[in-house]
Amino acid sequence: MEKTSPSGAPWRNFYGRLKGKSLRDSQKGYMKDLEEIGLEGVDWESNPDRAPLDLAALFGGRPLWLEVGFGGGEHLVHQAVSNPGVGLIGAEPYINGVAMLLGKIRGAGAENIRVHPGDARDLMDVLPDGSVAKAFLLYPDPWPKARHHRRRFVTPEHLDPLYARLQPGAEFRIATDIEDYVRQAMEEVPKAGFVWLAERPEDWRRPWSDWISTRYEKKALREGRTPTYLTFKKPG
């Protein structure tokens, strides 16, 4: 019998940080914006039957893009402003990162973003199959110790539901500066059904044409690490 929490949700260990330093007063103010742009119906208490999200009501039929673990939100806001005809959902359990994103959304006036301030696995439960046109996994937690590699996103627990939620032909982008993360991604992502689109070294050495360097990437470059940009596709 599957272990469940008191709410009835499947038991899912969470290993990352949920909160860092205390939020500044301005950031606490930003958090109020979740009342407007936070996703409803993702948590088990409000949606125990796991009814799919009404994406048409959220985005008016616009294509949906998904960013898993948006960090400080630079890339998510950049894509939203650059692609007003797209609806974007960002999932991030780290509350300080959520506050930073909300501040950037206010500053940019982006109106096509919705936020899930929690575990992406819960979001996958309520996204309809074949609903996501593009997905991003940018500088995910590397979990460098070998015994922790099973916690990485590039494992079947995460990749299988992501594959199901993507549309045929959808693109899945991964950026990381950790060589062993690249190794695991190259082993596991194709196993999940994705096709790697690289044809020449420049395809994984150079960022995408619409890329904006995040604070995590800038830190990696300062410390002498080399980013890798992997582009996969769901066949179809």
Residues carrying an active site annotation:
141
Amino acid identity, position 202: E
Contact 168, 134 (CB under 8 A): no
**Sequence-separated (6 or more) residues with CB below 8 Å from residue 103:** 26, 27, 30
| 235 within 8 A of 92, measured Cβ to Cβ | no
* C-alpha to C-alpha distances, 195 to 56, 73, 176, nearest whole angstrom: 29, 27, 18
Is 225:80 a contact under the CB 8 Å cutoff? no
Q: What is the dihedral of CA 149, 153, 157, 159, to 10 degrees?
A: -130
CA distance linking residue 231 with residue 236, whole number of Å: 16
Amino acid residing at 118: G
Q: What DSSP state is assigned to residue 10?
A: B
Q: How many CB atoms lie within 10 A of CB 31?
A: 16
